[in-house]
Amino acid sequence: MPNEPKSPAGFVAIVGAGPGPADLMTLRALDRLQRAEVVVHDRLISSEVLDLIPATALRVYVGKALGDHAVPQQGIHALLVQHARAGRRVVRLKGGDPYVFGRGGEEVQALQAEGIAFEVVPGVTAASGCSAAAGIPLTHRDFAASCVFLPGHLADDDATHDWRALARPGQTRVFYMGIQRLAQIAERLIAHGLPPETPAAIVRDGTRPTQTVLACSLRRLVERAPAYGPQPGLLIIGETVQLSPDFHAD
């Protein structure tokens, strides 16, 4: 339920837009977007979702790319508070789900600190959307009893995670922003016991018409992976990858 404000103000809906197509948004997300007076949106929101914003609403772009942030995170917090205090219905529109590597938790803390009423509207996160579109189950009774979501930058420091536990069988590993660091991730996992022949996949532009899937062994994936680019991409490592119709065994 939305939090009660400490003083009269507007309202902020932190909305997950899903991985791309508008028809993967929830009905609640669509409702909040179509009633918005201000929309503060990220870089990876598809054009078909942006087209659903009312013509009368103010749009504020705050997108982030590697090394290029249009507005610092603290500036985003200030924007949300400013427009809510002016009595406006604000939508903070994010790709995927706000609480899965979306910094939604930080924005909620900022709104709570200022006594601003808010709600969080969940969205289809990239892991579930892209894996489904690529034919890769995240869990499977025969292959994976668990699934773990991780940020790609984890590979920058070997001491930040229990890589030995991550290399154990029976789990699907999904790395957000993992393509750029594929070689380091593979090196860490293999060094801690993961077989190099473990199935792995890169899904780029997942769920969109431009989706591409490269699925093979982790060893081969490191050799064949495309160069990192501006397209959103996901790295999935685990036995369930072999179920994808795009999987090619060595």
pLDDT tens, position by position, 175-209: 998 898 999 999 999 999 999 999 999 999 999 99
Q: How far apart are CA 196 and CA 219, in angstroms?
A: 5
Please answer whether residues 248 and 207 qualify as being in contact, where contact means their C-beta atoms are separated by less than 8 angstroms.
no
- Quote the CA–CA distance of 32 and 35 in Å, as a whole number: 5
- Is 131 in contact with 246 (CB distance < 8 Å)? no
The CA distance from 49 to 94, in Å, is 11
Query: Residue 44 and residue 18: Cα distance in Å, rounded?
Result: 10
Q: Radius of gyration of the chain from Cα atoms?
A: 19
Residues of the chain with CATH 3.30.950.10: 126-243
Whether residue 230 has pLDDT greater than 80: no
Average pLDDT for 51-66: 90
Two tokens at 111?
């709104």
Give pLDDT tens digits for 84-101: 999 999 999 999 999 999
**From CA 112, how far away is CA 109, in angstroms rounded?**
5
Residues 136, 129: Cα–Cα separation, whole Å: 10
**Hunting for tokens 């902020």 — which residue is that?**
12
- Give this prediction's pTM: 0.90
Least confident of 28-37, 47-56, 69-78, 104-113: 69-78
CATH of domain 126-243: 3.30.950.10
C-beta of residue 134 within 8 angstroms of C-beta of residue 215: yes
Residue 4 has pLDDT above 80, yes or no: no
Write out the two tokens for 201.
Answer: 């996949």
User: Domain 11-121 classified CATH 3.40.1010.10?
Assistant: yes
- Cite the active site residues: 42, 64
Residues of the chain with CATH 3.40.1010.10: 11-121
pLDDT value at residue 68? 54
